[in-house]
């Protein structure tokens, strides 16, 4: 199984690559869209602005290719942080910006009473899916975001995080599409375990 991490000049590709390499997986950084054809699993990470991410993915011709590989060929994909948010229909960060539309829903700014934005640091994740969180010891993962994805279909939600009076979707799954709002590559041992569990659940 070959894993490809999309490099669209926006995100922490190096640390994600190192996390997958920890388990000696066959992983490559994909710099050209046509090289997505050579991998079995896709990883889309990202840190920053939704609008900029869409622009970069289109600029480097990854946008349409990702649609082909994920929707038509049904290749498994893991979205991390902004990568997961890009799965949604629309984001209201810096205007109205359309995402891939793979997960019906919207991306909105975190709002609530006594809530600090951005949401940065370790926080508890409450799993609803035993397979994805198998072997996890304490369920605390590292977050760094100001926006969160609100899916229309709550059945795609596989984990949540309580942040103030707000319940954030911290992980989701729909068929071959999996996303996590937290950063497994920054979450030490349990984060590495999430990566391993993801790959085990798609086999």
Instruction: Check 69, 93, 119, 185 and give the catalytic one.
Output: 185
- Rounded to an integer, the average pLDDT of 20-46 is 96
Q: Report the CATH number at residue 69.
A: 3.40.50.880
Mean pLDDT, the chain, rounded, equals: 96
Q: How far is CA 29 from CA 3, 39, 48, 157, 176, in A?
A: 9, 10, 19, 28, 20
Judge whether 124 counts as a catalytic residue.
no
**Residue indicated by tokens 């729909």:** 174
The pLDDT tens digits of the residues spanning 122-145 come to 999 999 977 999 999 889 999 999
Instruction: Check 119, 145, 148, 183 and give the catalytic one.
Output: 183
Judge whether 34 counts as a catalytic residue.
no
Number of domain units in the chain? 1
Judge whether 148 counts as a catalytic residue.
no
202 vs 199, residue with greater confidence: 199
Instruction: Check 34, 61, 81, 148 and give the catalytic one.
Output: 81
Range(s) of the domain holding residue 85: 2-201
- Rounded to an integer, the average pLDDT of 101-112 is 97
């Amino acid at each position: 199984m070959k894993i490809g991490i999309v490099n669209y000049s926006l995100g922490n590709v190096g640390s994600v690559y190192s996390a997958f390499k920890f388990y000696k997986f066959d992983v490559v950084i994909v710099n050209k869209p046509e090289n997505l054809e050579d991998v079995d699993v896709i990883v889309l990470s990202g840190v920053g602005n939704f609008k900029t991410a869409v622009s970069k993915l289109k600029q480097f011709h990854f946008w349409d290719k990702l649609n082909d590989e994920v929707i038509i060929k049904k290749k498994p994909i893991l979205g991390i942080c902004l990568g997961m948010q890009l799965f949604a229909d629309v984001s209201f960060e810096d205007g109205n910006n359309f995402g891939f539309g793979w997960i019906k829903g919207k991306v909105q700014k975190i709002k609530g009473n006594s809530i600090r934005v951005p949401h940065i640091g370790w926080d508890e994740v409450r799993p609803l899916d035993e397979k994805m969180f198998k072997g996890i010891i304490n369920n605390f993962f590292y977050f760094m975001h100001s926006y969160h994805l609100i899916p229309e279909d709550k059945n795609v939600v596989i984990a949540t995080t309580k942040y103030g009076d707000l319940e954030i979707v911290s992980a989701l799954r729909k068929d071959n599409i999996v996303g996590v709002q937290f950063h497994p590559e920054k979450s030490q041992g349990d984060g590495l375990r999430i990566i391993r569990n993801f790959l085990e659940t798609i086999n």
